[in-house]
Structure 1
Amino acid sequence: MPERTGSNKQPTIREVALRAGVSPMTVSRTLSGGESVRPDVQEKVLRAVRELGYHRNENARSLRPGHRSGLIGVAITNLGNPYYGNFALGVEEVAAQHGRRIIIGSTGEDPLRERQLVSDFIGRQVEGLVLVPSGESVDHLSADRLGGVPLVLASRSLEGLDVDSVLLDDVGGAADGTRVLLDAGHTRIAFLGNARSVFTGERRFEGYVRALAERGLSPRDELVERGQQDVASAEVATRRLLDLEHPPTAIFSANNRNTIGALREMGRRLRAGESVDAMPALAGFDAFELAELMPVPVTIIDHDPQELGRQAARLLLARLDVDRAAGHGKTIEMPVRIVAAN
């Protein structure tokens, strides 16, 4: 873990050189690929970089003293998910109103990639960060590590980190979606969700369990599939569920990737000759394109990802343009709504 000096000032290349016992030129060569630098010396330099929390300044040559970069870093989990594209549009809209531009990166739900992406953003002298967290670690997001750059979390929160965040009513929305299925007479309701470590997945599972408990029911192990991070894995999980001796009559899906995977498996079975009546009812979080054209009814727990992005950007710009140290982090929880099955 990097040393904390009690200041948000970022360490310099000279301080790295002093810690490693080498010249600043050697540090620069190491960080540029290590040409003509012995491996043991490179290791000393990289160790010093880690210990001090040094971030390479990629914009140093292009920024004049006293000038800001005008950049906001946006780190999302999946560039291939249209949901996050709309979220980023919301951030960009508000940023542009304040004379800023955004740069975007994807973590792929990998905490190590998140660390590197955040470090790259800081190295490019971003003025602020909007992050959809991919894990539970917070040490790389401390004020010291970020050099005082304001951070806003979107969609997910992190324990032990006092920063602004924008969340959804995940628990209430999931409970409402599950109640729709229960009200239709279903009792064997499966759950399709992402990894337990994902904040939204855990909260939406909580809502599913809550709605079942209200009717005197509890989750059945064979009907709970968690850990699907993409459409392909959700399709496989749905196949396992529908191949059970007593398959579920309904499925609650925690996000649109899982919903689409479930629909793909149902579509495969329909093409193979199974009847629509044999397919389970489906309710899921997050809208997706062409949902109204699906061969089976889909109840959507809907919200506006662009507004989620706008809210995150407004919180960030308030920190940048008003007061970076204005008290503790603020949390906004946005409502969701049920869109009836087609």
Structure 2
Amino acid sequence: MSTSRGARQPTIKEVARLAGVSPMTASRTLAGGRNVRPDLQERVLAAVRELGYYRNENARSLRPGQPSGLIGIAITNLANPYYGNFALGVEEVAAEHGRRIILGNTGEDDARERQLVSDFIGRQVDGLILVPVSGDAAHLKPERLGEVPLVLASRRVPGLDVDTVLLDDVGGAYRGTVSLLDAGHTRIGFLGNRSSVFTGERRFRGYEQAMTERGVPVDPAIVARDQQDVAAASLAAKAMLDRDEPPTAIFSANNRNTIGALREIGRRIREGRSGPRPAIVSFDDFELSELMPVPVTVIDHDARLLGREAATLLFSRLDEDVAVPARTVELPVSIEYP
């Protein structure tokens, strides 16, 4: 498959024409907006969004049709070691194909994801691997990306038919919750990220399914689903454990929520406070999990393998001479007991 761009990209002159400004004003706006009135900048940026214009950062160094040798990777949380391992997996496969990676962080923000994808396309990447924010997908449509292949990792985006690598989120969360129920727990809290996040929704579904099948009601008072970082998770765990009927166990939908819960439990232990020390099931392993103050069961999988699988799909797509339907790979998870 050729890496040349089959879909013509808009030019800066077309952006300027739509915005009603000169090409020089449009270029200055995209270079930072120095000495350009704010109202003119707004018109230029609106035209950029409407046309799907991308700055070509490599235009001076690449001949037409020449591949850049770069693979763009967009992740949601650069501070999470999980994504470092994921990127290493992508890099290993990229190196086998003589490519290099460039890495960006979206912070679970739609606007940052759009800008990052725009930057990658401007650098004429050969392919994209994205852990999507799961918001508006207009910037990921083929008419915006041209012939740049896209692979989604860990999450799916509604309405986007592209190669995707997922985990068995529902099955893993179900099995982890069942392990708590089998241990005699019926007051099981849930810590997770917001429900609009693909993995958060699937993992809550597995938790809810296990509870429902055992006839154990899900108490909304001990369900918290909006934590994107450790600090927020600590506060959510504190609110749960301060209740008159605190949970005796917690299912945590990702490792940042797990660490937040453990920080709160550890704080209570250091202060000598009485009360339950809930058992924890964590979806995703995390650093020093074996040294925690309470038993932690880990629903484990290999983040590096996830990256390798995503990269393998991408290079398969780059090497294909004819179009084939989008493929989905679902990787298994395992349960590691303390």
**TM-score normalised by the shorter chain: which range applies?**
over 0.9
Task: Identify the match of residue 291 of structure 2 among 266, 285, 293.
Answer: 293
Is the alpha carbon distance of 1:271 and 1:36 closer, same or farther for their aligned partners in structure 2, counting shifts above 3 Å? Answer: closer
How far residue 37 of structure 1 moved from its aligned partner, in angstroms, is: 4.4
What secondary structure sits across from 2:107 in the alignment? Answer: coil
Residue 176 in structure 1 maps to residue 180 in structure 2: no
2 CA distance for matches of 1:202 and 1:282?
Answer: 19
What secondary structure sits across from 2:143 in the alignment? Answer: coil
The answer for unaligned runs of 5 or more in structure 2 is 1-5
2 CA distance for matches of 1:108 and 1:19?
Answer: 32
Q: Relative to structure 2, which stretch is displaced further, 119-128 or 299-308? A: 119-128
Q: Is contact 1:90-1:306 (8 Å) kept?
A: yes
Residue 332 in structure 1 maps to residue 329 in structure 2: yes
Instruction: Give, as a single letter, the amino acid of the residue that structure 1 aligns with 2:158.
Output: E
How far residue 41 of structure 1 moved from its aligned partner, in angstroms, is: 4.3
1 CA distance for matches of 2:313 and 2:165?
Answer: 9
How far residue 39 of structure 1 moved from its aligned partner, in angstroms, is: 4.8
1 CA distance for matches of 2:46 and 2:205?
Answer: 42
RMSD between aligned residues? 1.6
Instruction: Give, as a single letter, the amino acid of the residue that structure 2 aligns with 1:294.
Output: M
1:65-84 superposed matches below 5 A: 65-84=64-83
| Equivalent in the alignment of 1:116 | 115
Instruction: Give, as a single letter, the amino acid of the residue that structure 2 aligns with 1:142.
Output: K
1 CA distance for matches of 2:79 and 2:20?
Answer: 44
1 CA distance for matches of 2:252 and 2:222?
Answer: 12
Q: Residues 271-300 of structure 1: CA distance to partner in whole angstroms, max 9, x if unpaired?
A: 11146x830111110001111111211000
| Equivalent in the alignment of 1:88 | 87
2 CA distance for matches of 1:111 and 1:200?
Answer: 16
Is the alpha carbon distance of 1:68 and 1:215 closer, same or farther for their aligned partners in structure 2, counting shifts above 3 Å? Answer: same
| Equivalent in the alignment of 2:3 | none
| Equivalent in the alignment of 1:11 | 10
| Equivalent in the alignment of 1:314 | 312
Per the normalisation by structure 1, the TM-score is: 0.93
1:232-243 superposed matches below 5 A: 232-243=231-242
Is the alpha carbon distance of 1:288 and 1:38 closer, same or farther for their aligned partners in structure 2, counting shifts above 3 Å? Answer: closer
1:112-191 superposed matches below 5 A: 112-191=111-190
Q: Residues 299-325 of structure 1: CA distance to partner in whole angstroms, max 9, x if unpaired?
A: 0000000000000001111111224x5
Identity of aligned residues (%): 69
1:196-211 superposed matches below 5 A: 196-211=195-210
Q: Is contact 2:169-2:206 (8 Å) kept?
A: yes
Per the normalisation by structure 2, the TM-score is: 0.94
| Equivalent in the alignment of 1:250 | 249
Residue 63 in structure 1 maps to residue 49 in structure 2: no
Task: Count how many residue pairs are aligned between Structure 1 and Structure 2.
Answer: 333
What secondary structure sits across from 1:144 in the alignment? Answer: helix
Is the alpha carbon distance of 1:218 and 1:8 closer, same or farther for their aligned partners in structure 2, counting shifts above 3 Å? Answer: farther
